[in-house]
Amino acid sequence: MTTIANDILAAIGGVPQTASDVVVEAIDVRKSFGRLQVLKGVSLTVGRAEVVVMIGASGSGKTTFIRCINHLEKIQAGRISVNGHLIGYREANGRLIEDREPNIARQRREIGMVFQRFNLFPHLTALGNVIEAPIRVRGVPEREAIETGRALLARVGLSAKEEAYPAQLSGGQQQRVAIARALAMKPALMLFDEPTSALDPEMIGEVLEVMQELAREGMTMIVVTHEMGFAREVADRVVMMDEGVIIEEGTPEHFFTAPEQERTKAFLSKIL
Amino acid sequence: MPFDMVFAANGGASLTFDLDFFLRFVFQPSPALLSGLAITIYVAVFAQLAGTILGTLSALAGMSRLRLVRAISGIYVWFFRGTPLLVQMFLVYFGTPYLLGGLDLFPRDVNIGFINLRGAILAGLVALSINEGAYMSEIVRAGILSVDLGQTEAAKSLGMTYGLTMRRIVLPQALRVIIPPLGNEFNNMLKTTSLMSIIAVEELFRVAQAANSATFKAFEAYFGVALYYLALTTIWSAVQGRIERRLGASAGRERQPGLWARMLGLSRSRDGQVGR
């Protein structure tokens, strides 16, 4: 286990882990849908500029977990904080009470999310999608938002598609617009929920490339994916979930050469 | 044999149609008829507007997290869809002033800012609006539910509040589903305004009744006014078709045939056969 800890330290650049270097801190998170418990006590700490890839069979709870991080899902127990702020709840008399909606909305500004099915706004152009939240939520002047939006679309290689509507774009292009849209809010953390699972195989590369570039620039990222190539090349740490708990975590190297848990081995042998 | 008998029994009935009166009634409308036409149109427009706003508020209330707010919306829709508009109109015009201790809610002349109108018209407008709101509530609700949940989640994840998400993301998309039934509601509204005649609002139908009372030319007056309603709904259908085609075009769908093409059987279905 100490080797894993060292690996983590190495991953965040050897900097001693002080409080400000922690972006996400999840402690003993529990979540049920009705009587079905999908998260049975998940704890995870993600350092600044760290890229964590979450793997596991479908139904293992990884998607639910990252949806809890920006409070798209309520949790029944535990706590999640991002940049030191408790997400979705506030503490009163030692108990957690769900926060008011405007406060939750404010917390979400810091957390970008990319969805499996893109969820672009179909009635807005690519540029319109990117500038909507900065203007309406952050109050950025329109001209400035457009400038930033254009730069972001250029960064994901879609300068030529500014005025295109989502229906006129390929899946890969849509997902790249979605990434630009999330980045426009200048988030401290990016969550990726199986960003390539709904794409045709020939479009997966272009999206992963953008994500890899983002990681290189120092973005803190949690990525749920089945793309093991991406995990191997980009992840600082891989986390394996099974039946609502984290059963193993470590460097990509650890995972792809010497996984410890039987269930990890079984999962990897199926997917690789 | 039966035909002869009937005619004989009626003392030699004949078709009485005063063509001259009819043509004058329709094509040289009296000031009263024109004023009735104006009342019919503006009450329909404002009642539809107010009903759409009420319906949107009711639909949003119906999806509230607060049970009490949901209940208020539910009871509103239940009551006003479940009782006759005629009864509601009486309830508003005669009932509420009585309930409020004889307060003259709808006096002969009402001044709202620079607008001056008959109290009865205001009562009719209120009743039509509230009634329409109940129907629009269900239509708007269906529109909102038709928008993919992923849209709301994406908006939320960008830090948008509930109000912003509704206004900028969900409702604009719901419009595509709301517009066609909204058009049908307005078609209905144009005709339903005639119910106001029974609370003495001098709209189209009331004017026709007056013409009948004065001349006993029942068929000519009622058929004439029917043509006026038909003209209104026909014009509206054309406008509605245009709006819907524009909406459809922006959704990248194939152009739909217009009203005249449909009516004259000129429209072609997708496989290229002449439709009926």
Per-residue pLDDT tens over the stretch A196-223: 999 999 999 999 999 999 999 999 999 9
User: Nearest-CA distance from A227 to chain B in Å?
Assistant: 23
H or E element: which one contains B113? none
- B160 has a chain A CB within 8 A of its CB: yes
- State how far the Cα of A167 lies from the Cα of A130, in Å rounded to an integer: 16
Side-chain half-sphere exposure of B253, counting CA atoms within 13 A: 10
pLDDT for res B274: 44
Residues of B in contact with A136 (CB under 8 A): 160, 164, 168
CB–CB contacts below 8 A, A to B? 64
Is B23 a domain residue? no
Are B212 and B219 in contact, with CB atoms under 8 Å apart? no
- A109–B159 C-beta distance less than 8 A: yes
β-bridge partners, A129: none
- B158–A133 C-beta distance less than 8 A: yes
Is B11 a domain residue? no
β-bridge partners, A245: A242
- B153–A105 C-beta distance less than 8 A: no
**Residue of chain B with shortest Cα separation from A192:** B157
Is B27 a domain residue? no
In this structure, what DSSP letter does residue A224 have? E
Whether pLDDT at B67 is above 90: yes
Q: What's the CATH code of the domain at B238?
A: 1.10.3720.10
Is B220 a domain residue? yes
Task: Calculate mean pLDDT across residues B64-72.
Answer: 94
Better-predicted residue by pLDDT, A81 or B103: A81
pLDDT for res A20: 66
Residues of A in contact with B155 (CB under 8 A): 121, 133
Is B24 a domain residue? no
Is B4 a domain residue? no
Alpha-carbon dihedral B110, B112, B116, B117, rounded to 10 degrees? -50
Are A52 and A239 in contact, with CB atoms under 8 Å apart? yes
Which of A72, A122, A167 has the CB atom closest to B157's CB atom? A72
- B161–A133 C-beta distance less than 8 A: no
- Amino acid A270 reads K
- B154 has a chain A CB within 8 A of its CB: yes
pLDDT for res B48: 98
Domain hosting residue B176, numbered range: 37-275
- A123–B157 C-beta distance less than 8 A: no
- State how far the Cα of B245 lies from the Cα of B260, in Å rounded to an integer: 14
**Residue of chain A with shortest Cα separation from B250:** A123
- B158 has a chain A CB within 8 A of its CB: yes
Residues of B in contact with A138 (CB under 8 A): 159
Give residue B16's pLDDT band: very low, low, confident or very high (50, 70, 90).
Answer: confident
| Strands laid side by side in the A220-224 sheet | A111-114, A189-193, A220-224, A51-55, A237-242, A245-250
User: Nearest-CA distance from A10 to chain B in Å?
Assistant: 31
- B18 has a chain A CB within 8 A of its CB: no
- B161 has a chain A CB within 8 A of its CB: yes
Q: What's the total number of domains in chain B?
A: 1
Which of A101, A109, A119 has the CB atom closest to B153's CB atom? A119
Outline where DSSP puts E strands in chain A. Answer: 22-33, 36-47, 51-55, 77-82, 85-86, 89-92, 95-98, 111-114, 189-193, 220-224, 237-242, 245-250
Best A70, A100, A119, A168 member to test B by mutation, with max B CBs in 10 Å, is A119
| CA-closest candidate to residue A182, choices B149, B165, B160, B174 | B160
Best B147, B149, B157, B179 member to test A by mutation, with max A CBs in 10 Å, is B157
Is this complex scored with an ipTM above 0.85? yes
Whole-number average pLDDT of chain A: 91
pTM recorded for the entire structure: 0.81
Over residues B76-91, the pLDDT tens digits come to: 999 999 999 999 999 9
Residues of A in contact with B160 (CB under 8 A): 105, 133, 136-137
Is B5 a domain residue? no
Best B158, B161, B179 member to test A by mutation, with max A CBs in 10 Å, is B158
- A137–B160 C-beta distance less than 8 A: yes
Give residue B265's pLDDT band: very low, low, confident or very high (50, 70, 90).
Answer: low
Residues of B in contact with A121 (CB under 8 A): 151, 154-155, 169, 173
Residues of A in contact with B247 (CB under 8 A): none
Is B239 a domain residue? yes
Whether pLDDT at A65 is above 70: yes
